[in-house]
Structure formats: C-alpha cells, structure tokens
Amino acid sequence: DVKVTQSSRYLVKRTGEKVFLECVQDMDHENMFWYRQDPGLGLRLIYFSYDVKMKEKGDIPEGYSVSREKKERFSLILESTSTNQTSMYLCASSPQLAGLNEKLFFGSGTQLSVL
Amino acid sequence: AQSVTQLGSHVSVSEGALVLLRCNYSSSVPPYLFWYVQYPNQGLQLLLKYTSAATLVKGINGFEAEFKKSETSFHLTKPSAHMSDAAEYFCAVSGRSSASKIIFGSGTRLSIRP
C-alpha cells in the first residue's frame, strides 16, 4: 500500500513563528500536493509539484512556500505564521501516468494551531 | 472553471437505512468526478471515480454513484448503512486534461444512528 507520512499530527505555534510541515511518500510518485482543510470549505489546494525542484501555485498560495529537493519529500513552509493559518494541512501524492487528476493518496494530516 | 456543490453539511441516517449524499457539479466540459471518504483522524481515500465508461460507478464498501448529465449530479448511495460508514465524504471534480487539478466540495458529515 502507498504510504504518505506527515511528520506531525498536532502542532501549536505562536504568531510570527516559522513552521515546516514535512511530507514523505514511499511509492515513487511524481506528483505531490499540499491542501488545507477547513470546516465548511472542504479542501483547498495550496501548492503542488510534478517533479523534483518543480512547484506550482494552487488556489491559495499566499503566506506559504514549498520545497521539493527529493522526489519522495515535499515540504510546506509558513515563513511567519498568522492565526488565520490555523487549519488541518493534508499532503497527497499521485503517479504522473495520467496527470494531475489521477487518484490521490493522502497522509493523515497535521492540525496546526497558531496562537 | 469547475466546481462541486454538496447539499447538506451533515446527514444522519439509521443503521440499515439508505444512504444518499448529494453532489452537483458545474463544468463546461465533460468532467471526471470523484467521491472521497475521510474517517476520523485519517486522510482522505478514494471511494470511486467516474471517467465516462459507465454512468453507474461502483466503489468500495458497497457505495455507488450515478452520473446524470441532465441533472449535473453525481449522488453517492449505499442501500444499507453500517456504523462503520460514519465519516466525512467529499465530492470532487476535475477536467479531463492531464493538467487539470482536482477541485473538492465542502464535504458532508455522515452520522449513523444505532
């Protein structure tokens, strides 16, 4: 089975702190994604990557950046956290073979609370 | 641009009753449609995917969904609910181009009454 692992289940940070959210997948997938999940809003795409060192903005990239130095690892960076970034963050991956709308495999999420 | 609307943020049914979760889509081109499920404290997993091979799509755990172009709907059903079906369900849409991203709906939380 594909495994997508997110480094932390819960994080509590203070406003202005820098946060790294790490995601690792073990199935050699080319595509990786970061979403945030908020009640009543569903999942919104922050950034995605279709290859090492490649990244594309999603629908809500403001306040976030990403890094993909190795194929299996995709990091989400919050340079200076704000309270409106309190959310559940979900990482996902998929194989390239059919494109970005191939079946997504998700990690179990990181609940970030910014105080 | 594509979008999906899930009708009802919370649905409650009795164990053994029919489950019906509603999803309407908006797309200027024939879409791909998905249902994902999220169990408590887990990530999402794919239930089923419509790609136009058949309008009735069968998924895992006894769920199925029917694509109705005339109604722009893709409702999810299960004949008999089980306690283990309690979860949040997300409808999603994408274009058919390989560059099309998946757009998720707002989700419907399904509760099962004993």
Q: Is the Cβ pair B101, A43 closer than 8 Å? A: no
By C-alpha distance, the chain B residue nearest A89 is B43
Computed over its alpha carbons, how large is the radius of gyration of chain A?
13
CB atoms within 10 A of CB B70: 5
**pLDDT of A98 higher than 70:** no
* Buried b or exposed e, range A30-43, using 16+ CB within 10 angstroms: bbbbbbbbeeeebb
The pairing of beta strand B87-94 with beta strand B64-68 = unpaired
Contact list, A104 vs chain B (CB under 8 Å): 36, 44, 46, 102
pLDDT, average across residues B83-98: 92
Q: Is the Cβ pair B106, A42 closer than 8 Å? A: yes
What was the pLDDT predicted at B53?
75
* Buried b or exposed e, range B33-65, using 16+ CB within 10 angstroms: bbbbbbeeeebbebbbbbeeeeeebebeeebbb
**pLDDT of A73 higher than 90:** yes
At A2, the pLDDT band (50, 70, 90 cuts) reads: low
Interval B14-63: pLDDT, tens = 999 999 999 999 987 778 999 999 999 888 999 999 988 788 999 999 99
Contact list, A58 vs chain B (CB under 8 Å): 101
What was the pLDDT predicted at B30?
79
Q: Is the Cβ pair B95, A101 closer than 8 Å? A: yes
Average pLDDT, chain B: 93
What was the pLDDT predicted at A46?
96
- B91 to chain A, closest Cα gap in Å: 10
Return the amino acid letter for A35: Y
By C-alpha distance, the chain B residue nearest A43 is B104
Q: Which residues of B touch A (CB under 8 A)?
A: 9, 32, 36, 41-46, 49, 90, 94-102, 104-107
Q: Report residue B51 as tokens.
A: 């790609």
Q: Report residue A23 as tokens.
A: 């995601």
Q: Is the Cβ pair B100, A58 closer than 8 Å? A: no
Q: Is the Cβ pair B41, A48 closer than 8 Å? A: no
**pLDDT of A97 higher than 80:** no
